[in-house]
């Protein structure tokens, strides 16, 4: 299994028409959050199939994917890591996470973050009881994608009914200026509410009057209509 084999399969799966649609969808225009990104035009299920096939690819070759100019190269590299991680030895897991953190500059769109952060960094911090200061550091980062990584990594804790980390990061980012952070924080608050509505509402009672409207809308999406009207009407 080699880097060349992976990129060859990705090239064969490319669809130029779909690539143009993806470029618009992921906001690659000048001044947009995905400015300059280039797509081959491959749907995620196909990338998952390729990633599973090459899950034993050497980390040095995964690094080449993560450094690739094509969006799908980077996403496939991240998906390979998510398939490697669960069956890796403790030492191998450390190497995978080290590689992930080394490449945050290449995890530069929301899908790349959302499909990897909780399965890699978040799960590692939860499983290993590791120092979670990295999440706070990323939450304070000037880099949009590191801030989103901080939020989405807490999904691993939420899935295990541990909410402290998500609430702490949400507290830091509750007044963030970027729409993609509003959506991410609101999403995690909603996930908390699915498991513990009281905990979510305790956070909302503190912040709903001042938090961004998009964040609030995402957070209360599954609430009964009357309760949604209450929160939105009091904004």
CATH number reported for the structural domain that contains residue 121 in this entry: 1.25.10.90
- Asked whether residue 96 falls in the same domain as residue 123, the answer is no
Tokens for 124, please give them. 């590692």
Please state the pTM of the whole predicted model: 0.94
Q: In terms of domains, do 76 and 20 share one?
A: yes
Q: How far is CA 40 from the centre of its chain?
A: 21
The parent domain of residue 12 ranges over: 1-108
Please write the tens of the pLDDT for every residue from 72-93: 999 999 999 999 999 999 999 9
> How does pLDDT run across 141-180, given as a tens digit for each residue?
999 999 999 999 999 999 999 999 999 999 999 999 999 9
Question: Which of 108, 130, 154 is the C-terminal boundary of a domain?
Answer: 108
Residues 8 and 78 in one domain: yes
Whether the per-residue pLDDT at 27 is higher than 90: the answer is yes
pLDDT of residue 234: 56
For residues 161 and 125, membership in a common domain is answered with yes
Do 232 and 126 share a structural domain?
A: yes
In the chain, % of residues over pLDDT 70: 98
The arithmetic mean of pLDDT across residues 35-45, rounded, is 96
Query: Band of the pLDDT at 235, cuts 50, 70, 90?
Result: very low
* pLDDT tens-digit map of 204-232: 999 999 999 999 999 999 999 999 999 99
Q: Based on the domain organization, do 178 and 203 belong to the same domain? A: yes
Report the C-alpha gap between 215 and 232 in whole angstroms.
11
Tokens standing for residue 33: 């959050």
User: Where does a domain end: 108, 133, 163?
Assistant: 108
Q: What percent of the chain has pLDDT above 90? A: 95
Residue 233: the pLDDT is 85
| Residues facing 1 on adjacent strands | none
Of 108, 126, 160, which residue is a domain's last? 108
pLDDT score for 154: 97
* Greatest extent of the chain over all pairs of C-alpha atoms, in Å: 57
Helices (H), the chain: 3-12, 16-25, 44-53, 59-66, 71-84, 90-102, 110-114, 123-127, 133-139, 144-153, 155-159, 164-173, 179-195, 197-207, 213-219, 225-233
Beta bridge partners of residue 38, listed in sequence order: 70
User: Do residues 210 and 172 share a domain?
Assistant: yes
Please indicate, yes or no, whether residues 125 and 89 belong to a single structural domain of this protein.
no
Residues 234 and 127 in one domain: yes
**pLDDT at residue 57 greater than cutoff 90:** yes
CA distance 51 to 232: 42
Number of compact structural domains in the chain: 2
């Amino acid at each position: 299994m080699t880097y060349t084999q992976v990129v060859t399969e990705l090239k064969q799966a490319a669809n130029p028409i779909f690539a143009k649609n993806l470029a618009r969808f992921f906001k690659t225009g000048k001044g947009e959050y995905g400015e300059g990104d280039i797509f081959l035009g491959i749907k995620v299920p196909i990338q998952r199939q390729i990633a599973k096939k090459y899950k034993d690819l050497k980390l040095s070759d995964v690094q080449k994917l993560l450094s690739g100019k094509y969006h799908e190269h980077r996403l496939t590299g991240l998906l390979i890591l998510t398939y490697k991680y669960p069956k890796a030895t403790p030492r191998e897991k450390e190497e995978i996470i080290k590689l992930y953190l080394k490449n945050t500059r290449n995890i530069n769109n929301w899908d790349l973050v959302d499909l990897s952060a909780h399965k890699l960094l978040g799960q590692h911090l939860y499983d290993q009881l590791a120092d979670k200061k990295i999440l706070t550091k990323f939450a304070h980062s000037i880099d949009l994608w590191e801030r989103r990584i901080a939020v989405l990594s807490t999904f691993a804790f939420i899935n295990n009914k541990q909410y402290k980390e998500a609430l702490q990061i949400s507290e830091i980012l509750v007044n963030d200026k970027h729409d993609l952070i509003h959506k991410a924080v609101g999403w995690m608050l909603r996930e908390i509410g699915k498991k513990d509505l009281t905990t979510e509402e305790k956070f909302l009672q503190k912040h709903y009057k001042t938090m961004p409207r998009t964040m609030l809308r995402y957070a209360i999406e599954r609430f009964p209509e009357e309760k949604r009207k209450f929160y939105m009407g009091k904004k």
